[in-house]
């Protein structure tokens, strides 16, 4: 898991706030622009859930240790509980809701998770899907050990790990066979 993006070394610009002290932000999530209002301490997780109602992103620990709130930020898996919403302008954000095609078709990683039943309570599933997605984009042919290493920051208390590993390795095959 890569560290949350900093502000590219640039000092944060003084920003206009509304009369409740909230910043007006423009976030690009799942390919769409959204205007949201957030206080400076609000995390991306809070904004995604509470304002955009993208509830597939979930808090598990609040300290970046469990991976349940993983989203993709410019393609990198990031714990959205640790990332301030105000730092996300200009970034390309993807949540689990963005994996499904407009016509309802599943992403190959999602398909593989369904076919292997790689979940039980499935609270952690969006985080695993996005981490797996990032892994397969970074390294199209990971070994089982590499998959485990990459997914070690995502926790599944139901312990569906055997099926998750099978699903990710299967998704790798599916993606490699795509034109």
Q: Which residue ranges make up the site for other proteins (CB under 8 A)?
A: 39, 53-58, 60-63, 65-66, 68, 95-97, 99-100, 106, 110, 113-114, 116-117, 119-126, 129, 148-149, 151-165
Nearer to other proteins, 91 or 110 (CB): 110
SS3 15: coil
Q: What minimum distance in Å lies between the beta carbon of 164 and other proteins?
A: 7
Q: What minimum distance in Å lies between the beta carbon of 124 and other proteins?
A: 6
CB atoms within 10 A of CB 100: 13
Nearer to other proteins, 26 or 100 (CB): 100
CB atoms within 10 A of CB 8: 7
Q: β-strand 70-73 against 76-79: which pairing, if any?
A: antiparallel
Nearer to other proteins, 7 or 170 (CB): 170
Q: What minimum distance in Å lies between the beta carbon of 46 and other proteins?
A: 8
Q: What minimum distance in Å lies between the beta carbon of 62 and other proteins?
A: 6
Q: Determine contact, residues 169/148, Cβ cutoff 8 Å.
A: no
Q: Give the residue among 49, 40, 33 at the shortest CA–CA distance from 90.
A: 33
Nearer to other proteins, 10 or 145 (CB): 145
Q: Give the residue among 137, 66, 77 at the shortest CA–CA distance from 107.
A: 137
């Amino acid at each position: 898991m890569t560290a949350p993006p900093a502000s590219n070394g640039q000092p944060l610009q003084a920003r206009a706030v509304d009369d409740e002290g909230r910043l007006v932000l423009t976030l690009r999530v799942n390919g769409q622009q959204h205007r949201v209002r957030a206080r400076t301490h609000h995390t991306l997780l809070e904004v995604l859930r509470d304002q955009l109602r993208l509830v597939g992103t979930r808090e598990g620990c609040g300290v970046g240790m469990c991976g349940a709130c993983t989203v993709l930020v410019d393609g990198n898996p990031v714990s959205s509980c640790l990332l301030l919403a105000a730092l996300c302008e200009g970034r390309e954000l993807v949540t689990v809701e963005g994996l499904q095609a407009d016509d309802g078709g599943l992403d190959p990683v999602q398909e593989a998770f369904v076919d292997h039943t790689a979940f039980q309570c499935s609270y952690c599933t969006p985080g695993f899907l996005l981490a797996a997605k990032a892994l397969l984009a970074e390294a199209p042919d990971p070994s089982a050990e590499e998959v485990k290493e990459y997914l070690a920051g995502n926790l599944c208390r139901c312990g569906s790990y055997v099926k998750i590993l099978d699903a990710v390795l299967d998704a790798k095959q599916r993606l490699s066979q795509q034109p």
